[in-house]
Amino acid sequence: MLQPAESSWIEPLVLALYRPTIQLATLLVRDNTVAQDIVQEAFVRVWLSPRTPREMSTFRPWLYRTVVNLARDHQRRQGRWARLRFGRAASDNPMDVAERREADTALGDAVRGLSRREQEAVYVRFFEDAPFEEVGRIIGVRTGTARVLVHRALAKLRRQLDPSSGNGMTDS
């Protein structure tokens, strides 16, 4: 284990955040194994960086942003974002999975059809109900741009899943 003097501050952060961070990375790269490597690399990078904040409230978006950047690097290297399929672990109840998969297939396909930036914005926004200011910080854009990206993505999804809804937002 780590020496208390040199790394006591990061150990509780790793224990608290490794699980959600791997889940976020898996959503972004759609490959659980790659996501685990990305998260490991992210923790090492933030540990090595003298600029890393040590408070949980600021460390978490800092770590998430590192993960988003590493996921982008991976996707650029692979050059196959659109072709990647989501390799997920089996559930305890295959029937539940089958039913839910049927319901979510259309939405999942539609989400995968969004642009990379829109997917990042949607996943970060709804992963932990992050406010737009934090979404912007994590994906590296300003708050207004994050808001437009999410809004644009939702409008695309709505049009794709329910063509009869049209373009207008007058049905409130």
Partner 1 sequence: MRPAAIEERVRDYVEAERAQIRVPPVMASRILHAVEVSRRPAPRPPRLAFLRVAAAVAGVLLVGAGIAWVRTAQSPAGLAQGKWLPAPAMGVGRGYQTATSLPNGKVLVVGGSQTNRILASTELYDPRTRSWSSAGTLTTPRSLHTATLLKNGKVLIVGGSNARPSSLGSLATAELYDPQSNSWTLAASMHTPRSYHTATLLADGRVLVVGGIEASNDVTGTVLASAELYDPLTNSWTPAAPLPVARARHAAVLLADRRVLVIGGTDSEHLPSSSYFPTAELYDPASQSWSLVASMNYARVYATATLLPDNRVLVVGDDGVNERTAEVFDPRTNGWFPIPDPGVGRAEQVAVELTNGMVLVAGGVGETSAQLFDWRRNTWTSAGALSVIRASATATVLVDGQVLIAGGFGNRSIPWASAEVYDPHGTSLVAARTSRPAPTPIAGALLFGIPALLLGLSAWLRRDRIVPETWID
The residue among 37, 169, 63 whose CA lies nearest residue 124 is: 63
Determine which residue in the list 23, 53, 69, 84 makes contact with partner 1, applying CB under 8 A: 23
Q: Which amino acid is at 95?
A: M
The residue among 119, 127, 29, 26 whose CA lies nearest residue 74 is: 29
CB atoms within 10 A of CB 114: 20
CA distance 29 to 123: 11
Nearer to partner 1, 40 or 69 (CB): 40
Q: Which stretch binds partner 1 (CB under 8 A): 51-59, 68-76, 84-92?
A: 84-92
Q: Which amino acid is at 105?
A: T
Residue 113 makes contact with partner 1 by CB under 8 A = no
Residues that bind partner 1 (CB under 8 A): 1-2, 7, 10-11, 14-15, 18-19, 22-23, 26-27, 32, 36-37, 39-41, 43-44, 47-48, 50, 86, 88-89, 91, 97, 100, 104, 107-108, 111, 122-123, 126-127, 129, 136, 140-145, 147-148, 150-152, 154-155, 157-158, 161-162, 165, 167-172
